[in-house]
């Protein structure tokens, strides 16, 4: 009985270790980009990977809404982005926050320029929001 118990316990341990090491390449790439951009240390890098895993898992959960309910999809996408940003801000040090704030400012300026460009073309608010969402995804 003890052998069976320890065998099952060992199996669960091996499966959990294997599951943790099989990270999706997209998740790894997003985490690596974050690690490089903010020059994260080892502990922060581990947390950044967890943040990206959660982000991609949440995005996968709402993927079906993209074709069925665009408004709800946009709302949930923004919520996921805000959650990801909040998690990232919690792990950053002061010098890294300077980089974060600069990056966010650049994104806001880029978003504002794109909005003005699309308004000049006469697009509707929904079309502009859709274009901005696509821009954020890339």
23: exposed, middle or buried (C-beta count within 10 Å: 0-12, 13-18, 19+)? middle
The CB density around residue 131, as the number of other CB atoms within 10 Å, is 16
Which comes out higher in pLDDT, residue 32 or 22? 32
Residue with tokens 């099952």: 8
* Dist CA 22 CA 14 (whole Å): 12
Q: Residue 138: pLDDT band by 50, 70, 90 thresholds?
A: low
**Segment 111-133, tens digit of pLDDT:** 999 999 999 999 898 899 888 88
Q: Residue 136: pLDDT band by 50, 70, 90 thresholds?
A: confident
Backbone phi, psi, residue 69, to 5°: -145, 85
Strands (E), 8-107: none
Counting residues of the chain whose pLDDT is more than 90, the rounded percentage is: 68
Q: Report the pLDDT value the prediction gives residue 72, as an integer from 0 to 100.
A: 93
32: exposed, middle or buried (C-beta count within 10 Å: 0-12, 13-18, 19+)? middle
Residue with tokens 């959650």: 83
Can you give the residue ranges of every domain in the chain? 25-137
* Dist CA 131 CA 138 (whole Å): 11
């Amino acid at each position: 009985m003890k052998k069976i118990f320890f065998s099952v316990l060992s199996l669960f341990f091996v499966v959990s270790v294997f599951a943790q090491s099989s990270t999706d390449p997209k998740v790894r790439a997003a985490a690596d980009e974050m690690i490089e951009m903010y020059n994260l240390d080892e502990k922060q890098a581990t947390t950044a990977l967890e943040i990206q895993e959660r982000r991609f898992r949440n995005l996968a959960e709402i993927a079906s809404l993209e074709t069925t309910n665009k408004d709800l999809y946009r709302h949930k996408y923004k919520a996921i982005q805000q959650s990801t940003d909040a998690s990232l801000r919690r792990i950053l040090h002061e010098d890294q926050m300077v980089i974060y704030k600069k990056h966010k400012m650049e994104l806001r300026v880029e978003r504002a320029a794109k909005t003005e460009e699309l308004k000049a073309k006469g697009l509707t608010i929904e079309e502009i929001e859709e274009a901005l969402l696509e821009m954020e995804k890339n």
